[in-house]
Amino acid sequence: MQERMGNPALVLPAAMQALAALSKVPAETGLSPKLLELVNLRASQINGCSVCVDGHPRIAKKLGETDERLFAIGAWRDSPYFSDAERAALALTEAVTRVSDRADPVPDDVWDEATRHYDGRSLAALVIAIANINVWNRLNIATRQIAGAWKP
């Protein structure tokens, strides 16, 4: 496969600045960088973004994430490696990423569980993080970016 064009965020520097600024917001609220990488990886798996599925585990490993958790992220519901707060974040990630899969894209039970683990600022930051990785996935997929070319 060959990429169709350079990543639009690199072609348009103002877009890169905006997306980079947006990506800093969740960490600035105190959300764990490791949690954010789990969210990034899970959304990227769902979307089939090979660039991000390749790159985000590398970032997570640099942050101290374990192989067991990275290998199990796709089966987080049945895996013993994740806390209740992480499970709530992953459930929210899946719901927000799969918005067209059901009539009620983000069901109350998923949202309510997230509110049990994250306060208003943290929850807002989590939703921003999920939205941002979905933007990156769509940019990469639409332009057929090549996995492995980005080495975080």
**Domain regions of the chain by residue span:** 11-141
**Amino acid at site 80:** P
Residue 150 has pLDDT above 80, yes or no: no
Predicted pLDDT at 1: 79
How far, in Å, CA of 6 to CA of 51, rounded?
13
Predicted pLDDT at 149: 81
Residue 44 has pLDDT above 80, yes or no: yes
CATH topology of domain 11-141: AhpD-like (1.20.1290)
What are the C-alpha distances in Å from 103 to residues 64, 95, 113? 38, 11, 19
pTM of the shown model:
0.95
Computed over every residue of the chain, the mean pLDDT equals: 96
The beta-carbon contacts of 50-57 under 8 Å, at least 24 apart in sequence, are: 50/140, 50/145, 50/146, 50/147, 51/140, 51/145, 51/146, 51/147, 51/149, 51/150, 52/133, 52/136, 52/137, 52/140, 53/147, 54/147, 54/148, 54/150, 55/147, 55/150, 55/151, 55/152, 56/152
List all residues 6 or more positions away from 61 whose beta carbon is below 8 Å from its beta carbon.
Answer: 67, 70
Q: What are phi and psi of 46, to 5 degrees?
A: -60, -45
Q: How confident is the model at residue 79 (pLDDT cuts 50, 70, 90)?
A: very high
**Amino acid at site 139:** L
